[in-house]
Amino acid sequence: MKLFTDLPPFLFSIVLLFLGRFMLTVSILCVFTTWTLLWPPAVLMEWLELETMPFGFRLQLLSLAVVNFGLCWLGEKSFFAWITRSSTAFLHRCHRGPTKPSSSVEYHTLDTNTAAHQKPFERIAQQMGC
């Protein structure tokens, strides 16, 4: 049974099912954490042995978490994508190789039928006699 295929309906339904449940869980946990940070119930404060903090400090902690989320999201969406594009372009320029074959460069064809160039599962199946 294949879970991930190239066919869009199967891949889409599996990813959508997973992401829907995942996002629901993350949303519930974010709401619970925010509620516990801002207005912790007495039972939870006693059970987790939490100390009472001023409300301004709790708001400061929440604002730091929101700023951290915003910076991480901004980095993922723009900064890290820019770094990836720049480094890929740089590596392509560095490893482009000679544009014209020179006399010092020799080209050899590879025999793809040898055991060294077979895929590992094909080589193992061949050794097992399958």
1 pLDDT tier (thresholds 50, 70, 90) = very low
Could you report the per-residue pLDDT of 87-104, keeping only the tens digit for each?
A: 888 877 777 655 555 556
Q: Which pLDDT does position 65 carry in this prediction?
A: 95
Is 62 part of any domain?
yes
Is 66 part of any domain?
yes
Could you report the per-residue pLDDT of 108-122, keeping only the tens digit for each?
A: 665 555 555 566 767
Say how many domains are in the chain.
1
Nearest alpha-carbon partner for 37 in 56, 23, 18: 56
Is 100 part of any domain?
no
DSSP 16-75: HHHHHHHHHHHHHHHHHHHHHHHS--HHHHHHHTPPP--HHHHHHHHHHHHHHHHHHHHI
Task: Report which residue type is found at 14.
Answer: I
Q: Which pLDDT does position 99 carry in this prediction?
A: 53
Is 83 part of any domain?
no
Could you report the per-residue pLDDT of 31-75, keeping only the tens digit for each?
A: 999 999 999 999 999 998 988 999 999 999 999 999 999 999 998
Is 94 part of any domain?
no
